[in-house]
């Protein structure tokens, strides 16, 4: 079993739809990251959170530490949101704050 | 503008040749990382460096080597000992270990 799992693996949505991507992890963490990787390969950090909820524009990230679960929501989705969304967890009882990456969720938003 | 640069974007090499991937940052970050990404898999850590002149092996260091002679530079050498070197390589940096990481644009290495 992977230490960080994401669902769904692939997602196709119509423009304007509300999108949810889920992340579950099995290790102790100090922070959870949501990253966005565009088709060209570049990665952008969207959120880093350790509790509660954060919002940036149309993106909302939540985390439930007790349930070891996080969700990334996209409101009013747009074709430019098409990308791979990666959940990563950091920290815990390791020699340094190792970051463990999930496999990613590939999102395609069609007009 | 501050950021991380990786060059080249695409790299082709013959089997058996060593190749060095460049990573430079002007963010004044102490920590730097090298990851490998294969289709359908999460990023895997190759090497990391928390400070100049120091680096540590990650999860898949075999067949790779690094140096950290300057704060802003963390080159990765893919040696002929790496059994399956064709992959997408990402460099990242953070102000300190555990902080948010900033990623470079990546280098796609193809070994023919």
User: Nearest 5°: phi and psi at B65?
Assistant: -145, 155
pLDDT given at position A94: 44
From chain B, the residues in CB contact with A31 under 8 A are 98
CB distance B88–A33 less than 8 Å? no
Q: Mean pLDDT, to the nearest integer, of A23-39?
A: 88
The more confident residue out of A97 and A68 is A68
For residue B77, what are the contacts with CB-CB under 8 A and spacing of at least 6? Answer: B18, B19, B20, B21, B64, B65, B66
| A43 at B interface, C-beta within 8 A | yes
The minimum CA-CA distance between B13 and chain A, rounded to whole Å, is 20
Query: Using CB atoms, which residue from A96, A98, A101 is nearest to B42?
Result: A101
CB distance B100–A91 less than 8 Å? no
> pLDDT for A39-49, tens place per residue?
878 888 898 88
CB distance B100–A48 less than 8 Å? yes
Residue B62, classified by CB atoms within 10 Å of its CB into exposed (0-12), middle (13-18) or buried (19+), is exposed
B33, containing H or E segment: strand B31-37
Rounded CA separation A76/B55 (Å): 44
For residue A30, what are the contacts with CB-CB under 8 A and spacing of at least 6? Answer: A50, A90, A91, A92, A97, B98
The minimum CA-CA distance between A32 and chain B, rounded to whole Å, is 10
The confidence band for A28, taking pLDDT boundaries of 50, 70 and 90, is confident
> pLDDT for A46-89, tens place per residue?
988 888 999 999 999 999 999 999 999 999 999 999 999 999 98
Residues 6-35 of A with CB under 8 A from B: 30-31, 33, 35
Rounded CA separation B88/B108 (Å): 4
pLDDT given at position A95: 41
Closest by Cα among B81, B2, B68, B74 to B35: B74
Instruction: Name the DSSP class of B73.
Output: B
Candidates B42, B88, B96: best to mutate against A (most CBs of A within 10 A) is B42
CA-based nearest residue in chain B for residue A49? B100
Q: Is the pLDDT of residue B95 over 90?
A: no
Rounded CA separation A48/A88 (Å): 9
Q: Which two tokens stand for residue B39?
A: 């289709």
- A–B: how many Cβ contacts below 8 A? 53
DSSP A58-87: TEEEEEETTTTEEEEEESS--GGG-EEEEE
Q: Picking from A35-44, A90-99, B50-59, which range would have the lowest pLDDT averaged per residue?
A: A90-99
Rounded CA separation B112/B100 (Å): 35
> pLDDT for B39-48, tens place per residue?
877 889 999 9
Q: Is the pLDDT of residue A97 over 70?
A: no
CA-based nearest residue in chain B for residue A43? B103
A57: left (phi over 0), alpha (psi -120 to 50) or beta: left
């Amino acid at each position: 079993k992977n230490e960080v799992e994401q669902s769904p693996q692939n997602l196709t949505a119509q423009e304007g739809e509300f999108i949810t991507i889920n992340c579950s992890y099995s290790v102790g963490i100090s922070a959870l990251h949501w990253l966005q990787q565009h088709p060209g390969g570049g990665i952008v950090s969207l959120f880093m959170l350790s509790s509660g909820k954060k919002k940036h524009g149309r993106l909302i990230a939540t985390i439930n530490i007790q349930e070891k679960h996080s969700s990334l929501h996209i409101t009013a989705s747009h074709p430019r949101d098409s990308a791979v969304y990666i959940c990563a967890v950091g920290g815990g009882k390791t020699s340094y704050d190792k970051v463990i990456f999930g496999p990613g969720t590939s999102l395609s938003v069609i007009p | 503008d501050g950021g991380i640069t990786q060059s080249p974007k695409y790299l082709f090499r013959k089997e058996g040749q060593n190749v060095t991937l460049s990573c430079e940052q002007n963010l004044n970050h102490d920590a730097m990382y090298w990851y490998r990404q294969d289709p359908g898999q999460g990023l895997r850590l190759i090497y990391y460096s928390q400070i100049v002149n120091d680096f540590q092996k990650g999860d898949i260091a075999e067949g790779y080597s690094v140096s950290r002679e300057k704060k802003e530079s963390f080159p990765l050498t893919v040696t002929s000992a790496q059994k399956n070197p064709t992959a997408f390589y990402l460099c990242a940096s953070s102000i300190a270990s555990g902080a948010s990481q900033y990623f470079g644009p990546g280098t796609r290495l193809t070994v023919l």
